[in-house]
Structure formats: C-alpha cells, structure tokens
C-alpha cells in the first residue's frame, strides 16, 4: 500500500468513527469536496500536510493522532 492509499483509508475510518460523511468532513475541515473525493477515490499520492492538518482540525485531533494508526505501519517504499 502506498501513502496515498493509507491516508484515504484513515480518512474513511475517522469518518466512520465520528459518524460523519466525507461531505460533512469537508464542511467541518473547510476544504472542498473535490479535495476529499480526490484523496478518497483515487488515493491521491500527494495530499499536502496542510490538507491533512485541516482534516485533523475539523476532527479535533492532532497530526500525531492521524498518523498513529496501523495503516501507516507497513507502507511500500516510494522512490521516484
């Protein structure tokens, strides 16, 4: 799994835990629906730290909380 897929899975998991839809997440995080859709549906390889931080702020968690999940444990090496 690459980092984009891991971020997408984590966002979906957090939405489920918080009982909100990705659309609601857009509202509380102050980001566009197209941004969330790009990350979730295509596993965008380049979600910015700024975007992830906005998602965290909308969910009232820290960046450390976001990345403290087993989905990030065994990522494939990404060299380009």
For the stretch 22-48, pLDDT in tens is 999 999 999 999 999 999 997 666 789
pLDDT value at position 14? 97
- Note the pTM of the prediction, 2 decimals: 0.89
Where residue 11 sits, what CATH number does that domain have? Answer: 1.10.260.40
- Residue 22 placed within a domain: yes
- Residue 79 placed within a domain: no
pLDDT value at position 46? 77
Per the structure, the count of domains in the chain is 1
Task: Give me the count of residues in the chain.
Answer: 80
* Joined tokens for residue 35: 């941004």
Which residues constitute the domain of residue 25?
Answer: 3-69
Hunting for tokens 């509380």 — which residue is that? 28
Distance (Å, rounded) from C-alpha 40 to C-alpha 79?
Answer: 22
């Amino acid at each position: 799994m690459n980092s984009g897929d891991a971020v997408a899975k984590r966002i979906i998991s957090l939405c489920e835990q918080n009982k909100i839809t990705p659309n609601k997440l857009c509202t509380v995080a102050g980001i566009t629906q197209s941004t969330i859709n790009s990350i979730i549906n295509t596993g965008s390889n380049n979600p910015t730290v700024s975007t992830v931080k906005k998602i965290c702020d909308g969910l009232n968690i820290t960046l450390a909380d976001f990345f403290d999940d087993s989905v990030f444990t065994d990522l494939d090496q990404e060299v380009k």
